[in-house]
Amino acid sequence: MARIVFDLDGTLIDSAPDVQGIANALLADPALTRPGARPLSLPETRRFMGEGVAVFVDRMIASRALDAGRRETIVARFLALYEDAVALTRPYPGAAEMLRQLASQGHQLGLCTNKPVAPARAVLRHLDMEAPFTAIVGGDTLDCRKPDPAPLRATFDRLGPDGPMVYIGDSETDAECALRADVPFLLFTEGYRKGKGGLSCRAAFSDFAELPQLLATFA
């Protein structure tokens, strides 16, 4: 059996609509931003995601020419809203069923995400997707985030020493993290990838029905 670690946002779930809602609530707050700040579109939101809340806020501030001196306040407000932002998030088709199938087959499943642990667990509970995971490492678990390989290595360590390793994600950040951790990488092509090429991966897939056959080469 394999040790299989997944990314979360853009890989198992599409959380961009909820993240967009947080961002636009903050942009509409005159105490935090400048009057008339334009809301983020959904494509912008997806482009800004993937490297943690602080980087998302940095990109939002730069795109709307906001006062960088309010960065820490905006980050704090974002985090305060994040755990309850689950209403619009949906799993990608087949993702939840695939997780249950893999767990029932005896694979050890982990999650390595740049989303903080509390919001990650909250959205997984909301979607009834938390149970299959033996280990969850978030963006605030260590003092670094992906693409630093340490969070991914820590996730595999929590799954135990036995079984081949594979990491599944959707983005340039995930691909770089897997490369730096020296772990085989499978790319889910329907997520938040910013470009269309140039990613190093063992294989790519667009439908979770394809995943068991790809994983059979690691088991």
**Active site amino acids:** 7
d(C-alpha 158, C-alpha 131), whole Å: 16
Q: Retrieve residue 69's tokens.
A: 């001196």
The answer to whether 66 touches 37, Cβ cutoff 8 Å, is yes
The answer to whether 106 touches 32, Cβ cutoff 8 Å, is no
98-103 long-range CB contacts below 8 Å, 24 or more apart?
98/208, 98/209, 98/211, 98/212, 99/6, 99/12, 99/129, 99/132, 99/133, 100/132, 101/212, 102/4, 102/132, 102/212, 102/215, 103/131, 103/132
Question: 176-185: string of b/e by CB count within 10 Å (b at 16+)?
Answer: bbbbebebbb
